[in-house]
Structure 1
């Protein structure tokens, strides 16, 4: 223990240095050339960069933070002469690992009151972030977040599906995240270190679709000056994702069926068959069983792709996910654009919860990105929303104003009932739920018919 009697007068530079070495927060100082002049022990441990390497280098060369390009807190302090406290950011350490941190900055002033440069204190929040992810694991798989019961059921069986090699059919409206789900299945399975190849079957005519998937040989057609491997060859050992498979022609369906049955194909213009070693995941925004009954989709192909079926509900049926998705999009856009938007205000959430989202999750992401263009800092308000949301007349709601999730559920059911002349069987079918489920929700939410 230090004897207080031995301490007299102001702290010496040596004592100050000892204190800086003992604290757990990283501390560094810069001069007006943005070159690091001091670097404490905690800064070395957090960044993985030694003091000898750091001193004399520009701060952005050492930290490689998302703040460095546009929203540098230390730069603001140097320009405005005022401190900034607890700004969230991240740095890239010496092992190329992203480290979440909080930052506080102030001017570096000597005893005569002269400004020598700036000082930054940063704290490693890796443990806090790990705990947060652990707590949210029940509604987070790969890049998919959800707190709805329907999605949680999918999350529960996803590990078993991923470990299998069975063909998967993912059904759901446009914008519900079918490709994200396919990537999650691939990344969680034994083929994760091999390629994931995606192709939109509805965007290409048959000849181009076949050449993209099967490849072609030199001379197969005009301008085919050399052999080109298709996605089945490029994805060997990995996964091929066939999006919008319901939009394919009967002729292409025959070719695809042969691949699924025989695990081999012939490139365009080729004579020898080539074996396939890929997992097939298909997706569609149409009901393949209805297309099959209408003779627009081959029955034998349907049963080949429909080994495991997953249905992704539209966003209007899982409105409890809106706050989670907004948080995800805000975080992603903050990192991409170098901003520090803190979130959305209550009025914005209420407006989003009253919207039916015909474009599903993709539409919600576009709305938040639109708001990011107009909002430079702080909280996203209604002024930053697209015009169609601001001008939309809000429907009267029987739920408390401070419960936007409940309000959205009531509005959704009320609208479905009104569209179907209050025929509850028809409304349940419109919502994609069983009639008994609708009755329970009407009673639970206290909807007056």
Structure 2
């Protein structure tokens, strides 16, 4: 069996926990594996179907008599999603959602297919029986693993279950009784809560895929289904909407196809919001882009997002790390060489630029490119052609160039370490990624996003971070930026065996050599941290005064005092200040 297909087989066990059936098919449509959920859904055991052709086993039962596998494999579509109504003599009619996606190996060769099935028959029946004032059914809806909310005819939210709270981050108390337009962004209300079409016919639910900005500023992909609700007299009394978080599906797609989208960018800091606004515009153009920012801020991720949002998304993205190769190999690696160019060159070899033809080339750490090669790169930018090493014929390429540096190319130009003319050619559109210490308000949001992503990947169920551990994380300086934060959280997940990450689960190096944020331009280490003795009483009184002035709103008080909320909480605990 192909190595790629072996890795996909492991997904069946993971999806068993989500009650999702998974069938893995080979290139010639033989069944390679079927997980336990799929066995229960089909009534067929793995031992009876593995090795057989799927169209002989499931064509009429699960495929509606039509094989969409061929559409996936021959037409090159990434996914095919379909709704199937099947008839089962044991339990009656069943409603199935089926998603088929092709599997490609590292060389982008088609090697098989993965099919995912979800049985939502029980939920469909529940929707048919629901009554607007039925407390028992509301209790059931509140415990479903899908977000459910209802609105009245005026658009006021009348029900908001626990999973809807988890998906949107809005507490139920903030939502109930209020117009959805005052709670959710306009685009979310327009796409999901507008019931003018769906309330007219209770049997015509409207299904759509969109995204929502949560209360804490995260943008997540969701699938929503809207339908009208009628009372016993048949009058429309409101509408019901279900929402499913597609983040896990998105992350699976991201890992298997290395497709990164705007959902992978997280932040509500003004600098990040400006970035979110400009990146789609830049991506749609053909402009050369320079991405600058400290190490670990996500320059590589932004380059991938730009490529995948551009008109070249279906063409290759080729990365070159200019700092990772010796100078004497870098030229042949970037531009290729001709047969006989040097000892051992027994055949022509294309370089990275030629491999990226019609696509995008990402030149990471461009500041480390030797001066001897900068002139050759300049010609590629100007003429879109170059001479491979040892060749007398030019090679023309059509590539978009994205470059990145953590050194500041303008400074390198002033130090005569980087060509000024090349800098201006690369700097057509510039993106500046801020250091994490410059957007500290995003740290809680990043912690939540990274933990969710890591938990989905590792199949762990960490639900909380203790206040003490959160205090350490929020007050650290993060010289390694987002990458360091992700490494710290991954370490904590490995060590933590329960549902709560505590201080003891954080890396020892972080606990012993912390660098704290002091609220100004500089960091303060443990050794240099000033301990006030005589001023404690004054500080306690100042904090209490500001709390009273701000109505005991900790967020406003912290901002007024020039500290973050965790520092304020720690000082209130130290001085035993209670409201």
Structure 2 matches for 1:363-382, cutoff 5 A?
363-382=484-503
TM-score (norm 2): 0.50
Aligned Cα RMSD in Å?
A: 3.8
**SS of alignment partner, residue 237 of structure 1:** coil
**SS of alignment partner, residue 283 of structure 1:** strand
Moved more, 173-182 or 198-207: 198-207
Q: Give the Cα separation in 1 of the matches to 2:470 and 2:117.
A: 30
Q: Which residue of 1 aligns with 2:311?
A: 190
1:262 matched to 2:353: no
**SS of alignment partner, residue 312 of structure 2:** coil
The C-alpha deviation readout for 1:372-393, integer Å capped at 9, x for no partner, is 2211231211111001222356
Q: Give the Cα separation in 2 of the matches to 1:232 and 1:338.
A: 39
Q: Give the Cα separation in 2 of the matches to 1:236 and 1:250.
A: 24
**SS of alignment partner, residue 519 of structure 2:** helix
Q: Give the Cα separation in 1 of the matches to 2:444 and 2:116.
A: 25
Summarize the Cα distance change of 1:298–1:131 in structure 2 as closer, same or farther, 3 Å threshold: same
Q: Which residue of 2 aligns with 1:22?
A: none
**SS of alignment partner, residue 404 of structure 2:** strand
Summarize the Cα distance change of 1:149–1:303 in structure 2 as closer, same or farther, 3 Å threshold: same
1:172 matched to 2:293: yes
Summarize the Cα distance change of 1:414–1:238 in structure 2 as closer, same or farther, 3 Å threshold: closer
Summarize the Cα distance change of 1:330–1:225 in structure 2 as closer, same or farther, 3 Å threshold: same
Q: Which residue of 2 aligns with 1:56?
A: 45
1:283 CA drift (Å): 0.4
Paired residue for 2:356, among 235, 245, 265?
235
Moved more, 199-208 or 127-136: 127-136
1:217 matched to 2:324: no
The C-alpha deviation readout for 1:162-198, integer Å capped at 9, x for no partner, is 0111110001011110010111111111111111111
The C-alpha deviation readout for 1:385-414, integer Å capped at 9, x for no partner, is 00122235686xxxxxxxxxxxx5xx2316
Higher relative contact order (CA 8 A, sep 6+): 1
Moved more, 225-234 or 168-177: 225-234
May I ask how many residue pairs the two structures share in their alignment?
324
Q: Give the Cα separation in 2 of the matches to 1:215 and 1:202.
A: 18
Summarize the Cα distance change of 1:377–1:294 in structure 2 as closer, same or farther, 3 Å threshold: same
Q: Give the Cα separation in 1 of the matches to 2:472 and 2:286.
A: 43
Moved more, 205-214 or 379-388: 205-214
**SS of alignment partner, residue 280 of structure 1:** strand
Structure 2 matches for 1:319-334, cutoff 5 A?
319-334=440-455
Summarize the Cα distance change of 1:337–1:35 in structure 2 as closer, same or farther, 3 Å threshold: closer
1:203 matched to 2:192: no
Q: Which residue of 1 aligns with 2:508?
A: 387
Structure 2 matches for 1:36-75, cutoff 5 A?
39=40, 51=41, 53-57=42-46
Structure 2 matches for 1:339-354, cutoff 5 A?
339-354=460-475
Q: Give the Cα separation in 2 of the matches to 1:280 and 1:251.
A: 19
Structure 2 matches for 1:264-283, cutoff 5 A?
264-283=385-404
Summarize the Cα distance change of 1:99–1:301 in structure 2 as closer, same or farther, 3 Å threshold: farther
1:167–1:280 contact (8 Å) kept in structure 2: yes
1:142–1:184 contact (8 Å) kept in structure 2: no
Q: Give the Cα separation in 2 of the matches to 1:414 and 1:447.
A: 12
Runs of at least 5 residues in structure 2 that lack an aligned partner in the other structure: 1-17, 22-34, 51-57, 59-96, 102-113, 121-142, 149-163, 168-207, 220-261, 529-555, 564-579
1:99 CA drift (Å): 8.4
Q: Give the Cα separation in 2 of the matches to 1:443 and 1:344.
A: 21
1:220 CA drift (Å): 1.4
Q: Which residue of 2 aligns with 1:413?
A: 520
The C-alpha deviation readout for 1:297-352, integer Å capped at 9, x for no partner, is 11100100000011000001111222222222222222332222224222222111
Paired residue for 1:134, among 212, 235, 255?
212
2:363–2:403 contact (8 Å) kept in structure 1: yes
1:446 matched to 2:572: no
TM-score (norm 1): 0.64
Moved more, 322-331 or 177-186: 322-331
Summarize the Cα distance change of 1:36–1:205 in structure 2 as closer, same or farther, 3 Å threshold: closer
